[in-house]
């Protein structure tokens, strides 16, 4: 039971942190957040060159990059590409897009597909798709009449209209994608779509959780730095326990979330390699599903909790627009709200431990109070 990162993994994380610190200091983040596009796709060639899009990155490695991305608020479509689109391309054996990509995988009323063989068109609206504007392709879940299938749609093709939505986190903008008989490339047919979606949701959840841990860590670091410097009543405010103790709680929460992310990444990555991405072993599948759900719950709470504690620590400064903390808080809110992950993680765990809610019967009372 060895959680230690390998030297190569540590180097990867360190290099990512240095690169992002150089490229995206908080002032640049603030400027990008205030600007028109929000997400900076111009850096794609550099990211590719640095290895962020390499095929042979395992899920643990991707988590390390996602953590650093959360820490820096990496303002490119990298996360949407590797967390949402890449798992589907890989499962389909497809080479993927030549540039940023994203995915619309949510169940429920959405686009429908018409066609056969390799010729399909999609009609309908995919809502709240992250990073759709800079994307070269969007992976779209559409109903074929014989069940959902997964398609790739080029964003510059006919019948594709993107409507940018106003969002709480300008660094990860959402769009509605209106498709009108838009040409689409079939990636995964109805027979295997369910398994691919399960694996895709899993990867997205783990990478969202990893990013959230990075967000939590950065807000804590910003708050600790502030508390060490800001003086009132003749002392740094960090020396007051009422200020320090919530930060200690935030640290504890973040470390527990980080452990869960590593574990979920290792389990899911191992499942991917063994080809059991659909949880073929019922016992193993349930453990993996719980592990991913727990990581997601813990990381989201850590990001929100640490961001709110950090703002409280920074006092009057913390609630200004100019103080950078709110950019991370907005990302934490985005992470909490994002619902493209296949279902409620609390329900996943409760179903696994107590059985599905609607089929549970009340037991008859027994004498003596014995269970």
Partner 1 sequence: MDLRDSPPQAAFRAGLRAWLRANLPAPGGPPPARDTVALRRFSELLHTAGYAGLTWPVQYGGRGLAPAFQAIYAEESALAEAPDQLNVIGLNMVGPTLIAHGTPAQRERYLPGILSGTVLFCQGFSEPDAGSDLAAVRTRAVGVPGGYRLHGEKVWSSYAHLADHCLLLARTGPAGSRHHGLTCFLLDLHAAGVTVAPLRQLSGDTDFNQIRLDDVAVADADVVGEVGGGWRVAMATLAHERGTFGVTLTARLSVVFDRLLATVRHTGRASDPRVRHEVAAIYTVLQGLRHTGYRALGALAASGEPGPESSVLKLVWSATNQRIGALALELLGGAAALDGRDALWGGYWQHHRLRSRANSIEGGTSEILRSVIAERVLRLPRSR
Q: What is the nearest approach in angstroms of partner 1 to the Cβ of residue 214? A: 17
Please say whether the beta carbons of 218 and 20 come within 8 A: no
Interaction of residue 8 with partner 1, rule CB under 8 A: no
Q: What is the nearest approach in angstroms of partner 1 to the Cβ of residue 249? A: 7
Interaction of residue 60 with partner 1, rule CB under 8 A: yes
Please say whether the beta carbons of 124 and 110 come within 8 A: yes
Interaction of residue 2 with partner 1, rule CB under 8 A: yes
Which CB sits closer to partner 1, 113 or 257?
Answer: 257
CA distances from 134 to 21, 101, 181 (A): 23, 8, 21
Interaction of residue 238 with partner 1, rule CB under 8 A: yes
Task: Pick one of 32, 247, 307, 310: the residue that binds partner 1 (CB under 8 A).
Answer: 247
Task: Pick one of 5, 161, 195, 198: the residue that binds partner 1 (CB under 8 A).
Answer: 5
Given the structure tokens 């056969």, which residue do they identify?
116
Task: Pick one of 91, 205, 303, 349: the residue that binds partner 1 (CB under 8 A).
Answer: 349
Which CB sits closer to partner 1, 6 or 180?
Answer: 6
Burial of 57 (0-12, 13-18, 19+ CB in 10 A): middle
Interaction of residue 345 with partner 1, rule CB under 8 A: yes
Task: Pick one of 252, 274, 319, 337: the residue that binds partner 1 (CB under 8 A).
Answer: 252
Torsion of CA 281, 283, 285, 290, to 10 degrees: 180
Interaction of residue 241 with partner 1, rule CB under 8 A: yes
The first and second tokens of residue 4, run together, are: 């230690």
Helix (H) or strand (E) holding 56: none
Cβ atoms within 10 Å of 301's Cβ, excluding its own: 18
What's the distance, CA 322 to chain centroid? 26
Interaction of residue 56 with partner 1, rule CB under 8 A: no
Closest CA to 155 of 215, 97, 94, 197: 97
Interaction of residue 129 with partner 1, rule CB under 8 A: no
Task: Pick one of 290, 326, 330, 331: the residue that binds partner 1 (CB under 8 A).
Answer: 290
Residue 61's Cβ-side half-sphere holds a number of Cα atoms within 13 Å equal to 16
Those residues whose C-beta lies under 8 Å from the C-beta of residue 353, and which sit 6 or more positions away, are: 290
Q: What is the nearest approach in angstroms of partner 1 to the Cβ of residue 4? A: 5
Give me the residues paired with residue 142 across strands: 149
Alpha carbons 252 and 162: distance in angstroms, whole number: 42
Which CB sits closer to partner 1, 60 or 136?
Answer: 60
Stretch that binds partner 1, among 27-35, 210-218, 242-250, 325-333 (CB under 8 A): 242-250
Could you tell me where the beta strands, DSSP code E, fall in 257-312?
none
The first and second tokens of residue 290, run together, are: 């719980």
Interaction of residue 297 with partner 1, rule CB under 8 A: yes
The first and second tokens of residue 88, run together, are: 């589907």
Which CB sits closer to partner 1, 145 or 275?
Answer: 275
Please say whether the beta carbons of 113 and 210 come within 8 A: no
Q: What is the nearest approach in angstroms of partner 1 to the Cβ of residue 310? A: 12
Which CB sits closer to partner 1, 27 or 357?
Answer: 357
Q: How big is the CA angle at 132 (ends 43 and 169), to the nearest 5 degrees? A: 80
Task: Pick one of 255, 285, 312, 336: the residue that binds partner 1 (CB under 8 A).
Answer: 255
Alpha carbons 345 and 19: distance in angstroms, whole number: 33
Task: Pick one of 7, 93, 362, 367: the residue that binds partner 1 (CB under 8 A).
Answer: 362
Interaction of residue 346 with partner 1, rule CB under 8 A: yes
Which CB sits closer to partner 1, 108 or 367?
Answer: 367
How many binding residues for partner 1 (CB under 8 A)? 57
The residues of the shown chain that bind partner 1, judged by CB under 8 A, are 1-6, 9, 60, 220, 224, 227-228, 235-236, 238-241, 244-245, 247-249, 251-252, 255-257, 259-260, 262-263, 266-267, 290-291, 293-294, 297-298, 345-350, 353-355, 357-358, 360, 362-363, 369-371
């Amino acid at each position: 039971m060895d959680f230690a990162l390998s030297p190569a993994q540590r180097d990867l994380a360190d290099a990512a942190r240095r690169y992002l610190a150089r490229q995206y200091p908080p002032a640049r983040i603030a400027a990008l957040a205030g600007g028109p596009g929000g997400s900076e796709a111009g850096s794609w060639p550099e990211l590719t060159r640095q290895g962020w899009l390499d095929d042979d990155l395992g899920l643990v490695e991707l988590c390390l990059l996602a953590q650093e991305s959360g820490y820096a608020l990496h303002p490119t479509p990298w996360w949407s590409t590797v967390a949402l689109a890449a798992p589907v391309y890989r499962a389909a054996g497809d080479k993927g897009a030549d540039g940023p990509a994203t995915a619309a995988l949510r169940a429920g009323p959405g686009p429908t597909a018409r066609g056969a063989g390799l010729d399909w068109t999609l009609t309908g609206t995919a809502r709240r798709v992250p990073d759709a504007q800079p994307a070269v392709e969007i992976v779209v879940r559409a109903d074929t009449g014989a069940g959902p299938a997964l398609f790739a749609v080029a964003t510059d093709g006919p019948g594709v209209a993107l409507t940018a939505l106003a969002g709480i986190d300008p660094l990860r903008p959402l769009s509605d994608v209106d498709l009108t008989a838009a040409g689409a490339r079939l990636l995964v047919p109805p027979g295997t779509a369910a398994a691919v979606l399960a694996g895709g949701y899993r990867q997205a959840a783990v990478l969202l959780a990893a990013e959230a841990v990075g967000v939590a860590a950065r807000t804590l670091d910003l708050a600790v730095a502030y508390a060490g410097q800001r003086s009132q009543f003749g002392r740094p405010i960090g020396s007051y326990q009422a200020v320090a103790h919530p930060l200690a709680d935030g640290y504890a929460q973040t470390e527990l979330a980080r452990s869960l992310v590593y574990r979920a990444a290792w389990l899911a990555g191992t499942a991917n390699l063994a080809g059991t991405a659909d949880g073929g072993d019922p016992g193993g599948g349930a453990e993996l599903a719980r592990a991913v759900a727990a990581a997601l719950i813990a990381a989201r709470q850590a990001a929100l909790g640490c961001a709110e504690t950090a703002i409280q620590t920074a006092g009057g400064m913390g609630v200004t627009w100019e103080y950078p903390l709110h950019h991370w808080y907005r990302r934490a809110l985005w992470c909490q709200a994002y619902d493209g992950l296949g279902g409620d993680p609390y329900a996943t765990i409760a179903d696994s431990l107590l059985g599905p809610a609607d089929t549970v019967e009340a037991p008859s009372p027994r004498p003596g109070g014995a269970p």
